[in-house]
Chains A and B, each alone.
Chain A
Amino acid sequence: MADSLSLLRGTLDILVLKALSWEPMHGFEITSWLEQRSDGDLAIDDGALYHALHRMEERDWIASEWRLTENNRRARYYKLRPAGKKHLTGEAVALRRYAKMLTAILDAKTA
């Protein structure tokens, strides 16, 4: 996927936390949600996604439970925990500032 964007280190955590801030989701829902929001520009390695999910669960940013889907399938749903929410808020501010700064520099018209 040559023209999809790869992620900066630590960014995947934020994106996943953002997705979960809407509602509890299972892994595939998270991927689909992120792909839709990025208009297909974002390629997430599925293995990396689960790795991130488990890591964040261990850090108590998110929690998981087994529930049934609309189609009556067993799936593991993840939901945001207060610590995760706090991390998301803090990091989102920092990332936005970072993006703004990058844009400002890259778009500069005068030397």
Chain B
Amino acid sequence: MAPRRRAFRLSLRKPEVTREELDEELAFHVEERTRSLVARGLTNEHAQSEALRKLGGSVHEVSERLQSSAEQKEKRIDMRERIQDLLDDVRYALRGLARRPAFCAIAVVTLALGIGANAAIFSAVDALLLRALPFPRGDRLMDVVLLSPNEGANPWSWPKFRVFRDAQRSYQSLALYTVRQSTLTGLDPERITAEEVSATYLNTLGVRPSVGADFAPAIDAGPNARKVALISDALWQRRFNAEPNVIGQSISVNSYSYEIIGVLPPAFHGLSGNAELWIPIMARDADSVNEVWSLEFSLIGRLRDGVSVAQARSEATLLGPRVYRATPVDAGTITTARTTEWSAAANALEAIRVAPKLRQSLLVLFGAVAMLLLIACVNLANLLLGRAATRRQEIAIRLAIGAARKRVVRLLLTESALLAFFGGLASVIVAWIGTRILSTMNPRETLSAQGFAGGIGAVSFDTIQLDSRALLFTFGITVLVACVFGLVPALQATNAELTGALKDDGSTNRIRGHSNLGVSRRSLAVLQVSLAIVLLVGSGLMLRSLSNLMSIDAGFDSTNILTLRLNVPPGVVAPDSMPGFYEELTRRLRAVAGVREVALADCAPVSNACNGTIMQFADRPASATGNAMVGAHWVTPEWFSTLRIPIKKGRAFNSFDRLGGEKVVLVNEAAVRAYFNGEEPIGKMVKVYQGGFNTGARVVGVVSDVRFGTIDSTARPDVYISYAQSRVSRMIIFVRTSSSNPMSVAPVIRQAIKEFAPRDPVYDIRSFADRVGASSAQARFSTTLLALFALVALALAIMGIYGVLSFAVVQRTREIGIRMALGANRSSVLGMVLREGSILAAFGVMLGVPAAFAVSRVLNASLFNVSTSDPATYIAIVLLVSAAALIASWLPARAAVRVDPIIALRRS
């Protein structure tokens, strides 16, 4: 039988009555049967039980059975009718939408952008801030740092770690690690990320090797431990064909041979997020692990059961000074005014997963994109209201012939739900593209150059993807959006004055029905304008901040310079011939055609990845507190002239500063200001705890400040050491070229290095300008996105004003015609419409500016040298919005002026 539909749904009787009647009917039946059986000679009890048996159970049971089968049937019919209704609605809505393809396209594209952008940013927020850490019970992991009085968080040295480890009670396991870019030497050399770790590392993270064994705890007992290594699953596949007998084979890392003892599971990449090799810290020699001030290791711990994060934090505060006192600087000679002791701090790894600045800018973007979606919804609501207004007659007829208001609302809602559905579908494409861009945009070093290095590598941009959570989120907002922008117009439209709408001739009912719809449309337009102002002010402030960032003089000239890194694995060049190696290298490169100057430094400016240490003065008394923290930089003598960094006092390094001669250093002006107390710096003896300069060195020159940290941080005190007097294997080669495209000499430079040092890998070849650009990449990216959102918002606001006004003009054609017939001139009609536009804009500004003022405060930390109440930005935005509103009103105003009074009057 085909699905039957009831024309009327009148229930014949109330269910409770049926139930009682049913009971009575059945009871009567049982009685009658019993009576007839007794009449045939059965005993009373016998007859009764026989009667019940024939009924198939007690009266109550059977009645229940009959009742529920009836109810189920009722429900089935109900459900069928509902689905049928829904299908009808959908079919009707589809037909309606198909008649207006332009409207549909605008709506769907607007929604696709709005929802898609939200889903993409949500994916980033999810991957970077929300998702669980990729380690078992990651919420029990803590990150512990040393706090220095004037430098903030610092890593650990092994001796300091030992003190902390032996004193603490909060952790079941503690581990040190540091990330080290390394070279797999031998045939087919390859650069990989390695982690140097304590033997407790995997145990602390809760990970076990999938093949072979973990490091033995005994490894941590002392330096010069056996050189063993764990490798990643990927490395095992790549270099060992996933052979099980890899255990016991050797692998050559930085020219040292390590014995492979295990392979880690495929998903594990260490805390750095991209490690392929793990070697024990204790495989080093005694000198480098016993150095108290060689602060290079990060410390993580797994909390003991029952210990809270708060307990661990207060313990760290308590133990910090103890660690410091147990491991003072050798003679205890300290110089700064600061006397606060060093301390330590513990934080849940969950909480510090990304740097605060990154978290901040993500949340700002998330807020902005949500606001954009809100504007898009408001815009659609506005469009639908306009559409509802033109359909008022149809709706009124439906209501008049007896359609329930609920039914009509549902019909209209179906239409917006369909739009939202298509928008949501299309948004998946936008979100997919968005997540692809996000996941590739931020290499780790770029993050660190921008001061975003606080987090752990395992939580990084490349984990951003459009997964089921993001899709669920997208679905959620799609539903929300359908309700938000669909319900208001639907309720409004069905609320219109019935009779007025029925005898609608385009004007008579204007007073009521129209003004009703008109008011909500106007308020929506005002809302759009104010939301757009909030976004515009936010992006305006960011733009100002970015332009400040870009115009910073970081202290050097980066144009026409090519930079590249060269790794000299230990053992390739004998330690004592390293200075000769640097000299010969620069000499050869200088001979390359197109090269003007060549210099080396161990670390690039604005990379925020440089090395620091403490400095002491030979002529000041010893003290156990306060330290002169300085950045320590290795350079060749020509570095300052190559980067156009002026020497302010004294001299630069020269060819007489070499091994065996007097050790000399240069300091920057910031160091002079901070530590020299107005004394003459030239000629002063200092001790620098790096590169063997702790025995004393003479200051021979003062150079102007260079920013080595993030671009927005001021230059800190720095000390320069010459490559000629101290050996260090890491280096960046700076090549000043005569061409304005420094990359053009890259191939010849590479070739020249290959001829000179064939076994040393060259990598990271980039123009210096590119490196400097990376230091503001995130600011540029956020600002670009924010500005894009703001422009879309402005465009939508313009559309809103335009829509409202042009609709009003059409509605008032007759009125305008009369006015003109009565002698109103064109300019007064023009003025009338423009005035309406300005009123909308004015209300928008009145609401938007205070809102922007309140909201933009969240940007405070992201802004550089701009106040969140920067008047210039506000004035510019208000002017921009006013101009946009004027343009939006201009077209409807022109249309109003063109009204021909005769035609307008005749039409009614």
Contacts and interface: CB of A to CB of B under 8 A. Distances in A.
Contact of A28 (B22, B29, B57, B65): B29
A76 B66 contact: no
A2 to B, nearest CB: 15
Contact of A50 (B26, B31, B36, B54): B26
Contacts of A45: 54, 56
A87 B346 CA distance: 86
Contacts of B151: none
B33 interface: yes
A48 B22 CA distance: 14
Contact of B28 (A28, A32, A51): A28
A82 interface: no
A46 B66 contact: no
Nearest to A66: B21
Contacts of B31: 73
Nearest to A50: B66
B28 A74 contact: yes
A99 interface: no
A54 B12 CA distance: 12
Given A32-B36, A47-B65, A47-B66, A27 B56 contact: no
A31 B21 CA distance: 19
Contacts, number: 49
A46 to B, nearest CB: 4
Nearest to A35: B36
A105 B62 CA distance: 40
Interface in A4-62: 26-28, 31-32, 45-48, 50-51, 54
Q: Which of A32, A46, A48, A51 has the most CB of B within 10 A?
A: A46
Given A74-B24, A76-B21, A47 B56 contact: yes
Contacts of B24: 74, 76
A76 B29 CA distance: 10
Contacts of A50: 22, 25-26, 29, 62, 66
B29 A27 contact: yes
Contact of B55 (A46, A73, A75): A46
Contacts of A76: 21, 24-25, 28
A73 B66 contact: no
Query: How extensive is the interface on chain B, given as a class?
Result: 20 to 34
Interface in B12-40: 21-22, 24-26, 28-29, 31-33, 36
B677 interface: no
Nearest to A46: B55
B66 A54 contact: yes
Nearest to B65: A47
Contacts of A74: 24, 28
A36 to B, nearest CB: 11
Nearest to B18: A54
Contacts of A47: 55-57, 62, 65-66
A26 to B, nearest CB: 7
Contacts of B69: 51
Contacts of B22: 50
A18 B71 CA distance: 28
B70 interface: yes
A60 B781 CA distance: 73
A27 B28 CA distance: 9
B56 A46 contact: yes
B59 to A, nearest CB: 10
B66 A75 contact: no
Contacts of B62: 46-47, 50
The range of chain A's interface size is: 10 to 19
A75 B36 CA distance: 16
B255 to A, nearest CB: 90
A73 B22 CA distance: 16
A26 B66 contact: no
Contacts of A27: 25, 28-29
Contacts of B33: 28, 31, 46
A48 B54 CA distance: 10
A45 B55 CA distance: 6
Given A47-B65, A47-B66, A26 B28 contact: yes
A83 to B, nearest CB: 15
Given A54-B70, A76-B21, A46 B29 contact: yes
Nearest to B26: A50
B156 to A, nearest CB: 82
B54 A46 contact: yes
A32 B29 CA distance: 11
Nearest to A27: B29
Contacts of A54: 66, 70
A67 to B, nearest CB: 12
Interface in B48-87: 54-57, 62, 65-66, 69-70
A37 B25 CA distance: 23
B73 to A, nearest CB: 8
Contacts of A32: 36
A28, A73, A75, A76 pick with most chain B CB within 10 angstroms: A28
Nearest to B32: A28
Given A45-B56, A46-B56, A74-B24, A51 B32 contact: no
B26 to A, nearest CB: 7
B254 to A, nearest CB: 86
A87 to B, nearest CB: 14
User: Residue among B26, B66, B69 with the most chain A CB within 10 A?
Assistant: B66
Contacts of B54: 45-46
Interface string A64-75: 001000000111
A76 B31 CA distance: 14
Nearest to A45: B56
A61 to B, nearest CB: 14
Contacts of B66: 47, 50-51, 54
Nearest to A32: B36
B81 to A, nearest CB: 16
A50 B65 CA distance: 11
Contacts of B57: 47
A79 to B, nearest CB: 15
A47 B66 CA distance: 8
Nearest to A43: B54
Nearest to A51: B66
B28 A75 contact: yes
Contacts of A73: 28, 31
A73 B31 CA distance: 11
A27 to B, nearest CB: 5
Nearest to A73: B28
19 contacts: A26-B28, A26-B29, A27-B25, A27-B29, A28-B29, A45-B54, A46-B62, A47-B62, A50-B26, A51-B69, A54-B66, A54-B70, A73-B28, A73-B31, A74-B28, A75-B25, A75-B28, A76-B25, A76-B28
Interface of B: 21-22, 24-26, 28-29, 31-33, 36, 54-57, 62, 65-66, 69-70
Q: What are the 3 closest A-B residue pairs judged by CB atoms, nearest first?
A: A28-B32, A47-B56, A46-B55
Interface of A: 26-28, 31-32, 45-48, 50-51, 54, 66, 73-76
Given A28-B29, A28-B33, A47-B62, 14 more contacts: A27-B28, A45-B56, A46-B33, A46-B54, A47-B55, A50-B25, A50-B66, A51-B66, A54-B66, A54-B70, A66-B21, A75-B28, A76-B21, A76-B28
